[in-house]
Every structure is written in structure tokens, then in C-alpha cells.
Structure 1
């Protein structure tokens, strides 16, 4: 190998297709704003359909699904706490936090970096 003709460096990390599907897995949680339980169905469908295509999609699909399960549980707790009014404030914290974290995860996945959501109960391993 000379300086005039360097060897090409293989791309590091997942390919463009895997990054795209990982991004879709994270953002598919937004479907929950359109249909009931869509926030769970979206990541589940992406993960189930594409998990065998690439290990990165499998990993990020599970992470997105675990996050949406955690958000659904937190949302249910907020609804129960609406009896004492604190749930009304907390539900907005959960919604805004979930939106921000989904966007961060989607950007990281698009960059080819595996993202781990904070405070997530990882039900699916």
C-alpha cells in the first residue's frame, strides 16, 4: 500500500438500508398518535419483518419496542393518577419525553449508532 494508491477502507457499522429500517423502527412509535396501540404495533411490525435482515435492525427494533412498552406502562400509570390530578401533569412529561427520546434515537440510528433509551424496562431481550 502506497500513499498514492491507498486501499479503500471498508465502511464501519451498518449499511444504509439497515440504518433506514432502524430509524423507521424508532419513529414508528408515532403511529400511536393516529391509532390505538399503534405505538406498540409500529415497532413490533418493523422488528418482526426486518429483524433477520441485519443485526442492527434486530437490536434497534427490540430497543424501540421495549421503549414503547415502557412508555405505555408510564402512560397507564399517569391515567390512573389523574384521579388525584397529578397524572394530568405527568402525562405531558411522558409524552414530551417520549417524543424527544424517539427523535434522538432516530437520529442516532440514522448515523449508524446503536441507541439505548434511558429508564427502559427491557422486556424483550
Structure 2
């Protein structure tokens, strides 16, 4: 039986490095689905952030992929926050215009769900690609964490 006890700063094996790197991507998808219905959607950045800060120094792939996943989650959470603010402001301004809001209301719901679906799809693609041994770069993300 293999010894699985590691010291906190011991480098990851190649398998562990790939595993934690893929968890950074999958974590965003799981978190955004769990928290989308409330303000807690901002917690979607936590899986990648924790992996980046706590485990990033133990594996090069883990650090790089957690940083990429973190940048993507920051971008998506930012987009969701902007969407929520705009939807709230327009909802407050136009609630009395029944016919207008009958069109805008469902449109804003579709946009909100589209943001979540895009987040989940790209996070799963990233996790699968990394788990299969390659790296993944999201097609769009603000590269705020370097």
C-alpha cells in the first residue's frame, strides 16, 4: 500500500497535480450551480482561489490551472453581478410599464441562466481537458490574477 501522508509543502506527483488542477475547474461549475439563486454566487470563486493559494505551490499545473479557473470565475461572477444590478434597476424603473416588463423580465432571466450555463460548460470542458493531461485556457476571461 502506498503511503499517502504528505507534508504540507511536499510537491505533488504528476497524478495529484493533474487531479487538483482539474478540481480547480470543476469547483467553479459546482459552486455556481449551488449558489446562483442568491447573492452567494460570489462564492463560486472560492474553489479555485483556495486551490491556488493553498495548493498552488505544490504543483506547477495546479498553480497555472487554478489561476486560469480563478480568472474565469472572477469574470463570470462579475458578469452575474452586473446582470443582477442592471436587472434590478430596470425592474424598479419599468415595473409600472406592464407590457414592457413582460418582455424584458423573461429576457433578463434568459440572460442570467445563459451566464450560468456558459460558466458550467466551460468549467467542465476545462476540468476534463486538464484531467486528460493537457492545459486549458478559457476563450474569454479577465486575466486579473497573474
| TM-score bracket relative to the smaller structure | 0.7 to 0.9
Q: 1:42 aligns with which of 39, 47, 61?
A: 47
Residues 29-87 of structure 1: CA deviation (Å, up to 9, x unaligned)? 12244352321111111111111111111100000100000001110121123226343
> Where do 5+ consecutive residues of structure 2 fail to align?
1-12, 92-103
Quote the residue 1:87 is aligned against.
108
The question of 1:120 aligning with 2:141 is answered yes
- Report the secondary structure of 2:57's partner residue: coil
Partner Cα distance (1:27, 1:15) in 2 = 18
Per the normalisation by structure 1, the TM-score is: 0.81
Q: Which runs of at least 4 in structure 1 moved beyond 4 Å after TM superposition?
A: none
> Where do 5+ consecutive residues of structure 1 fail to align?
1-13
CA contact (8 A) 2:25 2:127 kept: yes
CA RMSD of aligned residues (A): 1.7
- Report the secondary structure of 1:52's partner residue: helix
Partner Cα distance (1:87, 1:76) in 2 = 13
Partner Cα distance (2:33, 2:118) in 1 = 15
* Bigger share in helix: 2
Map 1:34-113 → 2, pairs under 5 A: 34=34, 36=40, 37-82=42-87, 83=90, 85=104, 86-113=107-134
Question: Aligned residues, how many?
Answer: 112
Residues 5-39 of structure 1: CA deviation (Å, up to 9, x unaligned)? xxxxxxxxx81111100111111112244352321
Per the normalisation by structure 2, the TM-score is: 0.71
